[in-house]
Amino acid sequence: MSTKADLRKLKMLIFFFHVTNTIIISFLPLYLNFKGLSGTEIGWVLAVGPLASIISQPFWGYLSDKYKTVKWVLIMTIIGMLIFSILFFQMNQLIFILIFGAFFYFFSSPVGALGDSLAQRQADLLNISFGSIRTWGSIGFALSSLIIGQLLNIYGVEFMRWPYLIFGTILLVIAFQIGDVKSNENDQAIKVNDLKKLFTNRKFTYFLIIMMFITITHRANDSFIGLFITSLGGSESLVGLGWFIALVSEALIFAFAYKWFKKDKALQFIILASLLYTLRWVLFALSTDPIHVLLGQLLHGLTFGIFYLSSLDYITRIIPNTLKSSGHLIFYSVFFGVSGIIGSVGGGFLIDHFSGNHLYLVLGSLSLIGTGLLIIYTFKNFSAHS
């Protein structure tokens, strides 16, 4: 992949994945409520996603490294995602929604990670910023949250399946057109035992463990910021505006990464983002008006944008070349899977028994602890150059 046309197709792939992913993240709870599920039952369905990703992401990452292809594994996951989304949307009973939801998430959850893995590799090959590619995902997310929301207001939430299938089909067509990772012919195909190299890599495993102090707070916020805004007296439209503000700030950070990001400073950027996460959650904890939360959403780009880009770059440089996809998808499963389960369950408990302000006070404390551990990690010489 070396031409501008090839790069444009990769950007389109990431754009349309996030268009489809936004439909699920933003509107699936409303769709399940339309189906007659209770709040607790909706929580069970949403928990299936991160649980499935813990299994599926390392699995698809291993296949990608074993057969030295990201493109064809990506195509398989998108095909599975479309097939099981049709079945998932048809189900009405909870047990079948859970079963087909698990299959749906098994195929859909690795798509974003595989796309980002391909983008990170191509950015390195072309000596361009990964953020300049990934920003199209943020743009897709922002536009989809506004446009699909308006469509569902007109036609009803039951209409959700149709834009999902249309944009998912476009995503599949683009996947057939993108270039693949160029592998070294001298590299031997990996075996299951080769994955031990990742888990015995202290830099990699220690970083993932410490990172969770930050990512748990991020995922808890993803799950409960809407409830927090409404608990402060905000409307559903303010919730949508809050997401839009966050995603625009994220897109700007990714778009201008080539100006500010330095590969040899990745850990320092991660620590900076962690400190800003602490500040953001403390501001939320002190909020008494939904407008305060919307203003805090301006920090989303400086927190998630910097943290995600820097972390992905860092782990790319500390794992073996033959295990790039596996490493990326394990990183993704910890960031969005394990942290998602803990953040959702723990956050739900705090919301039910205390308040949203108490939740964000705990999140601020966790991110502060994570920042301290990251500083220790850095000074213990667990860096890419040690």
Last residue of a domain, one of 152, 181, 210: 181
Same-domain check for residues 144 and 271: no
Residue range(s) defining the domain that contains residue 286? 191-386
Same-domain check for residues 100 and 123: yes
Asked if residue 228 is part of any domain, the answer here is yes
Answer yes or no: is pLDDT of 1 > 50: no
Asked if residue 22 is part of any domain, the answer here is yes
**Average pLDDT in the 350-358 region?**
86
| pLDDT on residue 141 | 85
| pLDDT on residue 323 | 84
| pLDDT on residue 277 | 98
| pLDDT on residue 384 | 45
The least confident of 242-256, 271-285, 344-358 is 344-358
CA 213 from centre of chain: 16
The least confident of 142-156, 169-183, 294-308, 345-359 is 142-156
Same-domain check for residues 177 and 111: yes
**Average pLDDT in the 22-46 region?**
79
Residue scoring higher pLDDT (156 or 260): 260
Cβ-contact 221, 274 below 8 angstroms: no
Same-domain check for residues 174 and 212: no
List Cα–Cα distances, 28 to 31, 157, 238, 368, in angstroms. Answer: 5, 9, 18, 32
Cβ-contact 32, 97 below 8 angstroms: yes
Please give the Cα distance from 72 to 116 (Å, whole number): 15
Answer yes or no: is pLDDT of 342 > 80: yes
Same-domain check for residues 166 and 195: no
Same-domain check for residues 47 and 70: yes
Last residue of a domain, one of 133, 158, 181: 181
Answer yes or no: is pLDDT of 252 > 70: yes
- Whole-model pTM? 0.79
Cβ-contact 14, 115 below 8 angstroms: yes
By 3-state DSSP, what share of the chain in percent is helix, strand and coil, each rounded to 5? Answer: 85, 0, 15
Please give the Cα distance from 141 to 197 (Å, whole number): 35
Answer yes or no: is pLDDT of 256 > 50: yes
Asked if residue 349 is part of any domain, the answer here is yes
Asked if residue 186 is part of any domain, the answer here is no
Domain count, the chain: 2
Backbone angles phi, psi at 166, to 5 degrees: -65, -50
Q: Between vectors from CA 250 to CA 62 and to CA 224, what angle results, nearest 5°? A: 80
Same-domain check for residues 159 and 218: no
Q: How confident is the model at residue 383 (pLDDT cuts 50, 70, 90)?
A: very low
Asked if residue 7 is part of any domain, the answer here is yes
Q: Which residue has the tokens 């080769």?
A: 194
* Domain CATH code at residue 253: 1.20.1250.20
List Cα–Cα distances, 89 to 112, 161, 272, 299, in angstroms. Answer: 21, 7, 41, 35
Please give the Cα distance from 47 to 49 (Å, whole number): 5
Nearest Cα to 331, choosing from 155, 143, 201, 176?
201
**Average pLDDT in the 18-38 region?**
83
Same-domain check for residues 305 and 363: yes
| pLDDT on residue 47 | 78
Asked if residue 66 is part of any domain, the answer here is yes
Same-domain check for residues 30 and 107: yes
Same-domain check for residues 33 and 176: yes
Exposure letters 149-161 (e unless 16+ CB within 10 A, then b): beebeeeebebbb
| pLDDT on residue 359 | 94
Asked if residue 342 is part of any domain, the answer here is yes
Last residue of a domain, one of 181, 216, 249: 181
Indicate the average pLDDT of the chain.
86
| pLDDT on residue 186 | 52
Same-domain check for residues 59 and 162: yes
Same-domain check for residues 167 and 221: no
Highest mean pLDDT among 37-41, 106-110, 198-202: 106-110
Residue scoring higher pLDDT (339 or 184): 339
Q: How confident is the model at residue 294 (pLDDT cuts 50, 70, 90)?
A: very high
The least confident of 122-131, 235-244, 323-332 is 235-244
